[in-house]
Structure 1
Amino acid sequence: MPVSRVPDHVPREMVRDFSLFTSPGMQRTPNGDPHAAVACVHSGPPIFYSPYNTQDGLGTWVITRAADQRRVLQDAENFSSHRKLFSAALDESWPTIPLELDPPAHGVFRSLLNPLLSPKRVAELEPAVRERAVLLIDRIAASGSSCDVTKDFAFPFAVSISLRFLGLPDDRLDTFVRWGQELLHGDRPERSAAARTIVDFIDELTALRRKEPVDDFISFIVQAELEGRRLTDEEVRGIGVLVFVAGLDSVAAAIGFDLAYLARNPEDQELLRSEPERIALAAEELLRAYPPIQMLRVARKDIDFEGAPIRKGDYVSCATMIANRDPAEFECPNTVDLARENNRHAAFGYGPHRCIGSHLARREIVIALEEWLARIPAFRIKKGTSPITYGGHVFGIENLVLDWS
């Protein structure tokens, strides 16, 4: 581990050779379990410095305890959300909105968007979500007794719901999924190219909706008023990019990890088949065990936090997959217990920036499990195949070939 990668203010004894991108189990691994691999950090200090822990290989402080992560995530005075992860790929500095805004601006935009993703609105969307799940699963069931479930179901399902929310047709779904994969998991040139493509797409859609509004999300945004004014093109871009990108990967990844678990654990699979009323509770435990997202903050000022000399500009990692394996927070954290109650998991974050789309994501996951278990016989991972898992900013799984012959 090159010492030159460690800032001078970081004590060398607080540096640890760990990364959500490069540590064992984090790179593309057949039959891997990156969530279990990160649990190793709980055998060490509550906070340490990782020299390589972002997509671009930058260092971060790593907060391991769930309680400490909650402190960071609700402390906007000391820790900023404006880390410009998307626009930085374009060498620009505009924020995705409201994710990368700090109070008070964050609250203003959040109030504008909350009604669009409220529990009431999600309930109104549920019939369309369920219809889409049924259509895809019935098509899979009719075509044989095996499928690559991430490619054939999880991604088409989750991304199509996101596109429907945005008011976009499904006919470019494969293209949009490819953009997301290149943006979230590609090398630097791929990420930059994908980011530019997505921005250009959102900008063109914004210009079209300003001229010809319809009943969709972008039309709502371009016509909305905030404190007596219309939103600027950059603000519309920041919102549109966030909603578009958020629907491309994380929910599909969660569904993939959930189905992989059930394929490997036939007793739990049978339990949910025979008692489908347990699925909603089980989905919470699977969100705890297999959350896909790392959250980053940037120190706004020098602060000593749990003995760590965090300095202005330092990145601070609050990885949900680490918090959700905290033995101080969860009994037997590395055991999946589908009956676990009082499940205070961190899959959707914490504090003012808690995921605005959590209600919709939760319903998508529950509906996906309900309809898959209702329509597909007992399934297992197909012999001779190996699911591929990987870590990173968003954990993922692919080549998950399920068989029910």
Structure 2
Amino acid sequence: MRRLSRRKALSLVKELDAFPKVADSYVETSASGGTVSIIAFSAMAVLAILEFFVYRDTWMKYEYEVDKDFSSKLRINVDVTVAMKCQHVGADILDLAETMITSNGLQYEPVIFELSPQQRLWQRTLRLLQSRLREEHALQEVLYKTLLKGAPTALPPREDAPNEPLNACRIHGHAYVNKVAGNLHITVGKPIHHPQGHAHIAAFVSHEAYNFSHRIDHLSFGEEVPGIINPLDGTEKITYNNNQMYQYFITVVPTKLNTHLISADTHQFSVTERERVINHAAGSHGVSGIFVKYDTSSLMVTVSEQHMALGRFLVRLCGIVGGIFSTTGMLHNLVGFCFDIVCCRFRVGAYRPRQVSPVDSVLDMNTPMDELQLNHLNHHQAPLLVGNAPL
């Protein structure tokens, strides 16, 4: 009984076979079919390999939403070198409502304004990357994918001992401010905080000592992420006028970065630069210095790294193999059909059954004939002639 049930199950499975096998005796091969098969298999292999590389690759997905976090603090990371001595220059941050004035967290370090050969090479490389990023925006996605593999964008230390006098001041560090519009300004004199506002004491600084040539080695907002190149990194401004004002207008966009390597809350920003000479006689009023005016955007961007699912990859792979196989088969049949028409080898009635005459059957030596057919043939054959007389 078990064997009988197994046979019935096996026969049922055979009846459900959707891929019937064709006997080898019914298969006809040709050189053109073999050539097309080789081309089709080669195309399948190449496209399957390329599809595998696409499956291994990832892409960045951008999502936008309203930033509802108003109570948190905004971190500002600063590394600016000014061509003035540290006792003559001061930096502080003032928000729009003037409720927070701070310079805590910023350090002053006497340095040499001129860069060493290796530092100059680093700055040129950074400028080249900045120019490429402005032209090819897709390079930013490459930086997002290789965050931890890249080096920080901070200026490397000098490789030689300084022999020149320290004629510049490096202002670096970070500060936490409210998420409202504010102003980071570096100007002459140390800042003094009082309840009515703030002021810079510049009475003891000679006007000839004013020199706001500066270099921005790093300026970012939010959490510092290694490998990210910000728009103002590597900026250098040289002036020969004592009353020079530099203004940077920045729009900060909160950004959540989620990749396979890191998850961080950082900020992107766009910047507009402006510089002018302070000349009260000509109507150009203001204060000499470096002013970074920033404002936060109400939108938040979420950048996440996406990967192709395994099921989707298998579906695409099956589509490639099946599509090429079907397409090449149809093209081969179409080309053969056209070739038969052009060469006059295609006949409409080639597959109609034809009537075989007795003479044709005699000429076909491969066809066996019985005695009745031979008598019928001899009865209808004409007599053989030798010369002019019949035999």
Q: Which has the higher contact order (CA 8 A, sep 6+)?
A: 1
Q: TM-score, normalised by structure 1?
A: 0.18
Q: TM-score, normalised by structure 2?
A: 0.18
Structure with the largest fraction of strand = 2
Larger radius of gyration: 2
Structure with the largest fraction of helix = 1
